[in-house]
Each structure stands twice: as structure tokens, then as C-alpha cells.
Amino acid sequence: MTSQTPDIRPKACETCPIRERAVCSHCSGSELEELDQFKYYRTYEAGQPIIFAGDKLEFVGSIVKGVATLTQTMEDGRRQMTGLLLPSDFVGRPGREIALYDVTATTEVVMCCFRIKPFEALLAKTPHLSQRLLEMTLDELDAAREWLLLLGRKTAREKIASLLKFIAKREFGQTVNVLELDICFDLPLTREAMADYLGLTLETVSRQISALKREGIITLKKNRSVTVPDVEKLFRETGDDHAA
């Protein structure tokens, strides 16, 4: 009952909230029509799996709304998030038969899905599509490299601050730096999911958040909604170069 969304297809692209940034953003009207031939929308509830590692990949697609994660799990249960997927992010890998990672909705998620085979075919003959996918993949690779630095070299406190910065940047764009006013946003992740993102335990995440709260760098309501009175001060805790 939760997996099939009422038909919002006709002309959906025109009002699509991710029209400007998704994999299809460079596509012309006729190319969008071609995509529409094998496109469908689908909704997932918070906590629901979207793809299981090892499963045959039936579709690729874009996150339209909500937050999903990509995680790897070791045999003994150790888990590491390897992707945090937000609206406009692309899910799935053209050219791959079998999914390598688990994809899970952490909030309610709406996806714009494309059946994989026809998508691959269109990709091969549509530079607007493949070039955009290349751009997005290169961006993701850069993000992954920042993430490697975070996991390899940052302290627990720096990791937490970096995650908050990431979420704030994604929410408010690059303008966050200049904003004098207080910044507020909701954490789309549980403490455990944050731990999986940061390569920590949930206890350490909780302790570090408490520490930042105690020091007045953040305040939080209901454990999930964060207020940052002084963005500069938070960013100084990330360990990053003061430019970015």
C-alpha cells in the first residue's frame, strides 16, 4: 500500500522540484518524453528498504523528495554508510546488473524511477543525459574524497561538526557562510545513522552532540531540530580550511 503512488506522471516534469539538478536536467522536451516512456514514481516510508545489496537492479532513478542512505554491512554486522542521498541525487549504476549496496529510505522518500534497460539505451544515444550523469558522478566522487578525509583523519567532534555543516550547506546552499542570523534545520538521521555515516558509535555521537550543546555552539529541540546561533563558530569546529 505504500509503494504505489497515485499517478502524478502526466506533465510531472514541468513542476518537478528537482528539474534543475537531476540527471535529466539537460534534457530537451523530446528527450523528457522519451524518458517518460519508461518512467514511474514510487514512494517509500521512512525505514523502508529501496534496494537490497545483491538484488538484481530493476531500475535507476532520482530522489525527488526525502532522504535515503547507501550502506555497506560486514559479515559481523559492522556497518558504514557510503552515500547520503538527497533530492536530485541519482540512485543506481547503469551498466551494473547487481546492486552492491543497500539503499534505505530514512524519511519518506519519493523516487522518479526509470526501468534500467531502456534507460541504458537512452543514455548511450543521448549526450545530454550521459554528460549530466558524468558531471553528477564526478561531483559525488569529490564528495566521497572529502568523506575519506573525514573518516581517516578527523576527530569525533570534527566529524559531528562536519556533518552538521554538510546538512546546513545542502539545505541553504553556499550562502550559509554569510548569513548572520540563526540557522535551523532538522536532522534527517537517527544517532545510529549518524554514527554509520561518521564511522563512530552512537554513544560517541550522542556525547559529542551533548558537548556542542553544552558549549552553546548548537541548541536542539526534541533531539532532532538543530539551531546554530553562530555558523562561523560551528564551521571552525570542522577542522576544514576556513575557505570552504
Partner DNA sequence: CGTGCGCTTGATCGGGTTCAAAACGTGTGG
Partner DNA sequence: CCACACGTTTTGAACCCGATCAAGCGCACG
Nearest by Cα to 63 from 122, 7, 16 = 16
Which lies closer to DNA via its Cβ, residue 34 or residue 196? 196
The answer to whether 213 and 222 have CB atoms below 8 angstroms apart is no
Which lies closer to DNA via its Cβ, residue 39 or residue 159? 159
Decide which of a second copy, DNA, none touches 240; Cβ closer than 5 to 8 Å per partner kind.
a second copy
Q: How far is the CB of 131 from a second copy (least distance, A)?
A: 6
Cα dihedral sign for 42, 23, 17, 101? positive
Q: Measure the CA dihedral 124/125/126/131, to 10°.
A: 40
* 169 is a site residue for DNA (CB under 7 A): no
* 230 is a site residue for a second copy (CB under 8 A): no
Find the binding residues for a second copy in span 185-204 (CB under 8 A). Answer: 198-199
* 92 is a site residue for a second copy (CB under 8 A): no
Count of other CB atoms within 10 angstroms of residue 228: 24
* 177 is a site residue for a second copy (CB under 8 A): no
Find the binding residues for DNA in span 97-156 (CB under 7 A). Answer: 155-156
Nearest by Cα to 167 from 63, 84, 106 = 84
User: Residue numbers of the site for DNA (CB under 7 A)?
Assistant: 155-157, 190-192, 199-207, 209-210, 220, 222-224
